[in-house]
Amino acid sequence: MGFFAQLEKRIRDIGSLVCVGIDPRPDDLPESSIDGLRRYCFELIDAVGRSVAAFKPNSAFFEAFGPDGMAVLRDVVGHVADEIPVILDAKRGDIASTADAYAHAAFGEFGADAITVNPYLGRDSIEPFCGNPDHGIFLLCKTSNPGAADFQDLPTGPENAPLFEHVARQAQSWNKQDNVGLVVGATQVEALRRVRDIAPTLWFLSPGVGAQGANLDEALSAGLRRDGSGMLINVSRSVARAADPAAEVARLNDEIHRVRAAITPTHREPAAETFTPLQRRVADALLDIDCVRFGTFTLKSGLESPIYVDLRRLIGHPRVLHDAAATYRPMLEQLPFDHLAALPYAAMPIATAIGLQMHASLVYPRKESKSYGTAANVEGVYAAGDRAVVIDDVATTGSSKVEGIEKLATVGLNVRDIVVLIDRQSGARESLANAGYTMHAVFTLTDLLDHWDRTGRVASDHIAAARKFIDATSPTT
């Protein structure tokens, strides 16, 4: 089980987003000795372990006791129950063999499940920490201390975006194994909001609630994903110094539940089957021929997605292509049009198959204008004023649809409707509506996930990850 899968299972099991920091300050210890250090940490773990999502021991407070203190750190990690993730707060950052050694120490010698890492030295400095998906890392992005702005807010790149936003974007591209998160302080509410926009699916580790004075409601509202998760609220002194640490954690859990309930869409079970026999056959075939795959994929937008749709593979499976084309027909029969307009390239074989079945005329806008012959931008037989319905394979943001429609308009073709096989529910329908067009989809991604969930065709963890991604990126949730 990968690190974030382990973390999410823990959160589902107990319903908590609280991470308790273990920061054994000398003044808090029952006695200033190694035994006092060990007893303090063990008692804190025993007091709150049943109701927290994770623990975060801070290496510095153990290092201050020398070699014996580091031995206690290993004992502390070992004292935490196996089902509770442990994040080592060490803020490591170095290159080559040094980074390898730090990673071996954190995960091998001390047995931590994750570690905080400083990304300042670049990608090669974090690779040793995230090479194994069982181990997680939280990159320092926007920290909770007052001096964070000294460097983290410096403008970078052609858009002069602050450095912490660049870190968030890099984290997206580095998250190849779903084990990269970000440290974003709960005291930095506007930064939380901006980073969440950049990284809608990544996990945040957010210190600052409690002694540092962060507003819990504001932090959660800004940093939670749209599924009401994706954020660990780290508390240290306010729990450790409470008269009853368990009661303080319970209070925090209640507060977090209240905010999550206010902003999280109600979970629903898969809807009842509404697919026709033809749609069911196509939905299952898309899995069989790998037109839909599950894992970790980088989309054109730069987002990391747990599901990938590649309908170009239909051309290698004529029967599935025929059936997929047939699923468009009921919608098209309700629309007025003179021509099918295929957007290159993935939709062209689909539209050709539709045209053959419906005996419909086909046109298509060229990606590049011809520099010879007729120099046409749009191929086919048509007249100015004709109506065209756009055919495409998948809808994500809708931008490529608008580009194609603009080319069709240059030769006088009128477009009002777009029909796709799959709507990824990432904003295309809304953006096209704003531009004056109506999009129709044979399937939404949610429809397909519900079908595969009901029929057991896809593992439940893949279904959950894909639904979470839709919740996090859909403009309507």
CB 21 within 8 A of CB 235: yes
- CA 120, distance to chain mean position in Å, is 23
- CA 252, distance to chain mean position in Å, is 25
**Of 91, 142, 370, 401, catalytic:** 91
CB 282 within 8 A of CB 53: no
Rounded to an integer, what distance in angstroms lies between the CA atom of residue 455 and that of residue 207?
A: 42
Non-local (6+) Cβ contacts of 169 within 8 A are 198, 199, 302
The CA–CA distances, whole Å, from 246 to 36, 41, 78, 240 equal: 20, 14, 21, 9
Beta strands in 16-66 (DSSP E): 18-22, 54-57
- CA 307, distance to chain mean position in Å, is 11
Beta strands in 172-269 (DSSP E): 180-184, 204-207, 231-235
Q: Is residue 370 flagged as an active site residue? A: no
Query: How much is the CA Rg of the chain, to the nearest whole Å?
Result: 27
CB 177 within 8 A of CB 135: no
Candidates 120, 161, 164; CA nearest to 141 is 164
Angle at alpha carbon of residue 189, lines to 183 and 195, rounded to 5°: 50
Burial of 457 (0-12, 13-18, 19+ CB in 10 A): middle
Q: Which residues are catalytic?
A: 91
